[in-house]
Amino acid sequence: MTQLTLTKHHGLGNDFLVVFHPQVDDLPALARALCDRRRGVGADGLLVGEAADGYAARMVLINADGSRAEMSGNGIRCFAQALAMRRGDHDPQLLITDAGERVVELTLTDSPSLVLAAVDMGSVDPIDEPADWAALGCDPLRPVSHLSLGNPHSVVAVDDVLAVDLLGLGTRVPYVNLEIIEPGPEPHAITMRVHERGAGITEACGTGACASAWAAEVWGMVPAGIQEIVVHMDGGDAKVRMHHPSPGRVTLVGPAQYVATVTVDTDHLLADTQLATPG
């Protein structure tokens, strides 16, 4: 019997399971089994902590469907909270991800299970539109930005985020994180919904919030020169500090909530998942 002890966390409803140094050969299969909301524990993704010279840890992200992703803004806050619990301190963490180095600073709150985290998310860079973008049928006059924060995003301005069939659109462009945004309701804020690669519609997306805030600034959706943009999402609000800590970079600020510690028998879990998979 192979047992793993994991912790579960969420950032604004975007939930993750965190495990350090698992002795498992097939991480994609493990992620699919653990993240299954009916037959597993349930989560949007699995975060795997590994040792890395010169860093507090390496964070590897496996989506709920077993695909590997470069980065998650909500996920890295959850990972940093789990690492702080493991280390017994709340010192700043230099982490390495598939998207490169990220620095996370944690702030304690009145709740022992809740921390606030500020993450230097790196630069926001333009990328080519995804190969399947034409399948979306997007109005050519509608503002669109294709951006990278280590992972790909397509941000689309809409009149009303609640009136859009986000699931239908997102499944047409499965290889990109699709964000739809509208201005406000405050002058310094935007409202965003997201369909994520490998997870579907989620309640929040940290890298998506950063890409959306960047696009909103470029389009003039928020006042020129604004230093911080509030991004309202289904799961709650995050803040994006623009051109911080240097021009062209952004810092994401938001919560990480510890939910539970879980011990699972991976042999049985993986066997049950295989039995449930249609042949």
Backbone angles phi, psi at 4, to 5 degrees: -125, 140
| pLDDT, tens digit, 9 for 90 and up, residues 116-155 | 999 999 999 999 999 889 888 888 889 999 999 999 999 9
Query: If pLDDT is split at 50, 70 and 90, which confidence band does 50 have?
Result: very high
Question: Hey, is 210 helix, strand or coil?
Answer: helix
Q: Identify the CATH number of the domain defined by range 125-247.
A: 3.10.310.10
* Topology agreement, domain 3-121+257-276 and domain 125-247: yes
- CA atoms of 269 and 201, how far apart (whole Å): 25
Average pLDDT of the chain, as a whole number? 94
pLDDT, residue 278, reads: 44
| pLDDT, tens digit, 9 for 90 and up, residues 79-123 | 999 999 999 999 999 999 999 999 999 999 999 999 999 999 999
Query: If pLDDT is split at 50, 70 and 90, which confidence band does 39 have?
Result: confident
Q: At what angle do helices 27-35 and 266-276 cross, to 10 degrees?
A: 80
Mean pLDDT confidence for 242-265:
96
| pLDDT, tens digit, 9 for 90 and up, residues 153-185 | 999 999 999 999 999 999 999 999 999 999 999
pLDDT, residue 272, reads: 65
Nearest alpha carbon to residue 192 among 208, 207, 181, 206: 181
Residues linked to residue 28 through DSSP beta bridges, in sequence order: none
Q: What is the DSSP string of 13-63?
A: TEEEEEEES---S-HHHHHHHHH-TTTSS--SEEEEEE--TTSSEEEEEEE
Query: If pLDDT is split at 50, 70 and 90, which confidence band does 279 have?
Result: very low
**What's the burial of 248, exposed, middle or buried (CB within 10 Å: 0-12/13-18/19+)?**
exposed
pLDDT beyond 80 at 42: yes
- CA atoms of 119 and 229, how far apart (whole Å): 15
**What residues does each domain of the chain span?**
3-121+257-276, 125-247
Query: If pLDDT is split at 50, 70 and 90, which confidence band does 271 have?
Result: confident
pLDDT, residue 275, reads: 46
Q: Identify the CATH number of the domain defined by range 3-121+257-276.
A: 3.10.310.10
Mean pLDDT confidence for 204-222:
97
pLDDT beyond 90 at 2: no
Mean pLDDT confidence for 194-212:
95
Q: For the full predicted model, state whether its pTM sits above 0.85.
A: yes
